[in-house]
Structures are given as C-alpha cells and as structure tokens.
Structure 1
Amino acid sequence: MRRVAVLALCAALFPLSGCGGPGPAGDEGRMPGAPAGVTAEAGSSTSVHVMWNAAPATDGGIEVYEVYRGTAKVTEVPAGTHMVDVTRLRPSTAYVFTVRARDTEGRLGPPSRAVRATTPASGPADTRAPTRPGGVTGRVVGDRAVQVSWSASSDAVGVVSYDILQGGTKIHSVGGNQTAAVVTGLRPGTRYAFTVRARDAADNVSPASATVRLTTAAGADDGRGTAPSDFRATTRRADDGSYSIDLSWVPPAADGVITEYQIHLDGHPATSLVYGGTPPRDRATYSFYVGERAGETHRVRVRPRLPDGTWGGFTPERTVTTGG
C-alpha cells in the first residue's frame, strides 16, 4: 500500500515526466540518462559557452557528449569533458542548446533540458581588450568546490563574459555582469591555482588576473558550504484531510541572487521552486502536497542553483511522518 501511495504522489508531482524510479528487471542500463545542470552563456558576439553535469551512466560508461544547437549537432566531446565553446555564431541572435550522452555501446540517451542564450551585438570595430580583472580572492566551500571572486573589468564597449582558468586552462565562464563563480567537480585535499580573464563582444580578451591559490578540504562533505542552512521540515494536515510538507531554510551566502531550489523527496528530485520576482534573502519557505494517508514517512532535502548556474550542496536530510 505504501508503494501505491508513493507512486500516486510521484504521478502528482511529475504528470509529464514520470517517476524516474527503477523499471522492471533488465531495463536498467539500456541507455545513458539525460545530462543535468546544463547552462549556456554568451562568451562573445559569435560564441556561447555551454556547460553540463555528468549524465547517469550505463554499465559500459559514457563515451562522448553530443552538443546540439537547435536540432543540429554542432560538436561532441569526450566523457571527461563537461563544457564546450560553440563558435561561429551570429551576433544579436537567440540560440537553443541541448546535450546528449552516448555510451560505449553506441546508445544515445535523451536530450537534456533546452537552455537558451543570446549573443550580443557586435557593434563598431573594436580592437581594445578589457582591463585586467583585479582584486581576485577565493574561498573553499567544501572538498569539491571553491568560490572565486574578482572586481569588474572595464571596456570601451562592455564586458560580455569572464573566463575562469585553472592552471592556464579555461574551465568555466560566467556573464559579464557577474564578479564571482563557484567552481565544482574538484578533488578533495588538492591545491589549485585560478586566474580570471575578461572578454568583450568582439572577442578581445584581457590579460589574466593575479593568481589565487586554494586547497580543497579533505573528506567528503561535497560542497556543503554552498548548502542552505537551518533547514526545517514538518507535516501539516489540511481541512480536507490531506497532508503537506512545510519546508523552510536560510539561503546560502553567494555573490548574486539565488532564484531556484530543487527539492528531493525520498532520494529523488520531486519539484523545483523558481522565484519569478525578488527571492527571499533571510528565510525561504515552501509547501507541497504528499497525499491523504497518515503514518507515511518521507525523507526530504533541498539544494540551491547558484548564481553561476551550478548546483550547490544539499541540506541535511530531514525525516517527517504524516500525522505524526
């Protein structure tokens, strides 16, 4: 009976996408899953920087990622690469990108969610690069993530994006209106060197900033410094006898505004909370329906989407019981 209730809940939360749980025996591993966490940011008037997280792998593992602009495949990269610069684009043009994973058996997984980016206007001839980013600082936010911050560069026309480099290799890009980025996917207990470069619409690139050196924390806390704090979860019974889970948390400190959170229920993504207006900065709250049966136990946790488009750490998991 409990499985029936959970399936009913999942159907209510995912009327279009399904429950995402394990299928019948023999169904697992048939094809890769869709890459998550896909972002796209204009790097210049003719390029867009696309990033994503690793896709759920089949038994044979992921071999390559295919990147699509609209319905056209534009490139593919090895499994260990989770970013690419799509070039030769038109200025002042909106583009849609998706990413698909292909495993070692040649099986192609479903496309990721579509992300959009618009290239800026090229403007008049511009050969002057932006000024060098200054004031570069950093802090460790877990065993696999760091935050790098800098002061804004200036440019005759305007800065379109900032490149974050690790040991001289570009590993990330953010919009020109941002002055901080969280770099994830690092190794615990490892020393890294980061620099930042500014880029304008004409693809002129500034000199690299001063180097900031950071050592990730030892252990396996997986970036909890980016997780919401003081997370609370309780159940509530409505007048019609149905139950809801009420959540509240304090948003993590970030150089930018956090507008999206993902709620996990019983180990699976349940729903996303996206603020269309001004998001709360002191304490956020959210409630969602979980059924009509008393005595049902659920586990719940929350994570934020950081201003640079990557997912932050999860809150500690809370356990609640309806009617308890």
Structure 2
Amino acid sequence: MTTTSLAQLNFAFQADTSLGGRLPPELECEIFTLAATSWHISKAGPLLLVAWRVHGWVEPLLYRSVIFFRVYEFLGGRILGPRNYTALPWIQSQHFDALVAQKPPGFFRTTVKRLLIRDDTLNRYVEDILRICSDVSNLTVYCQSSTGALEGALDVLAPGMLRRLAITLTHFFGAGTHLAMHPTLANVTHLRVEDIDDSLESLIPEVLRMPALHHLAIAPITEVLKQAHIVDAILTAFHRRPDDNPLQALVIFDFRKRGGVEADTILSTHVAFVIWTPTVSWESSVDWIEGAIGGWDFWDRADDFIRRRRAGEVDGNMLPPMNIDDLTSLL
C-alpha cells in the first residue's frame, strides 16, 4: 500500500464494473484509511481531493498531530514553519476559532491526539486550544509565561487521556499542588519538565510520585542533582520492583553544552541516566515533529541508547546528537 499510487487505486475502482465502478463504501473507507496511515503523511494530502466521501474519511487522520504558532521563525536559510513541515497542519493560534467554525462539532476534540503549542503563542489562546482539543494524549507547550499564569488550563483536558507531556509545571500548577493526585496527570508515562531553577527541588520528588510515570526529562541549571534527598528519590524510583512502575529513563537536557550537568556520581553512572545536548535552540520542536510523523523523538533515542548501554555496546551517558539533515520531517 505504501507504494500504490492514487492512479492505481482509481483504476482498481473503475475496473470493478460489477459494482458500477465503485467498491462497497466500507471497503473504500478501509483502503483509503490504510493509505493515509501507511504513506508518509506529506503524501496523504492529495487523498482529500479524490471525492468528498474520501475527504471525510481522511481529513481526521491528517489532524492527528497539530502545531500551533503565531509567527514564522527563520533558521539560517530555513523556515521552521509550514513551508518546510508541510507534513503536519500548522495553525496560527489567533485564527483557530475561524477554523473551528468550519469543521463539524467536536472535530478537533476527537481527531487531535498530538499537540505542540509553540513559544510564540500568546498565553490567552492556550486554554481555549486545550479545551477544543481536550482528548489530546501527547501535549507539548513551549510558552513564554510567568509562574501561575496558566494555572488551571490543563483542567479542561479530558481526565486520564494524557500519556506524554512537556510543560513548565509552575506555569500550570500552584505551589503545593499534589501532582500525583491530579486527574489530568493520572496516566502520564513520559514527562518533560521545563522548569529549570530551584523549583526543581520540590518538583522532582513530587513528579516521581505520579502513578504512571516511568520516563522523566529535566533541564536543571542548579546543582539539584547533587542534593542527597533528590538523589535518593531518583535512585529509589530506578530500583522499584517491576510491578511498582520503576523509572526507566531519566533524560537530562544540557542546554549549557557538554559537561555542564552537575550530578551525583552514583546517579550519573546509572544505566538509565542519559544526557542530551541539543545543538540548536529550536531542536526540541524539530524533535517533536519527527516523533509525530513516525520517526524517533528523544524518548525513542534515549530508550535505544539505554538498551545498547545495558548490552555493553556503548559507553558513557551522552546521547548522540540529532543529525538535523537526516530527519524525515524536513521535506
């Protein structure tokens, strides 16, 4: 199916004269759904033009992963925006209401599963976006905000739907919030904490209590990973029994470049302790997009690195850098 052209599909339909040139609708739907989900997403767009019935089957599949933004970014000759990433829908936050009005009721709630809200999106749009896309399971929010400015915004999401989350926790939750008890976070397995300052001292023990969490990423700029109670909490999470949901990976983002992570020796030599140094400031968005279209994101690369490390195939704790030019998402 991945190599079948639209012309071949059309020929197959027209050749079936016993059905008046049409296959049964159920079979047509299955064929076009398989095509839309098997091909690279950038090749699935033309399926929308085959017929209105096909448009109705395929369009929801193309909105499974969505990026919200406000302005384009120039990246040394490339534009990180729709011109390069035509594989995914890019929606300007300030125009979302108009797009919602063009779709059936509940369209974005039921279709959007992976959502990236980029850091140029204004805070006032975030909660409305989340309310409309409330069944999202993979959410990343990069917003320039202040402590508590988005408090309560995650409450509009359907409880228990989130599986992967990347946010600045102090933007969304007030001091003293018991994250392990929050219904929106009940099934989160992968969490990237964007908080970088002293707030991590209280946040790390709290997130480690989240019931479903087994992958954690942080970007500390302090010596929090040398503090005894933090080290003990992380090591305890690593060493839980298999039926107690042990921590399987701790990914440290080193934005201060290689060698900038201060960590306890026992912790930093643990097989599941991995350091990733993004080579450019916008690499996190590229990484998310790569994962959204079926490639490997940093979680996948970390899991593979840990597996090879356990097998003795690699040394150290430094995750190899992403090769931007080899990514399938750059079209």
TM bucket (normalised to shorter chain) is: under 0.3
**Greater share of helix residues, 1 or 2?**
2
TM-score w.r.t. the length of structure 2 is: 0.22
Higher relative contact order (CA 8 A, sep 6+): 1
**Greater share of strand residues, 1 or 2?**
1
TM-score w.r.t. the length of structure 1 is: 0.23
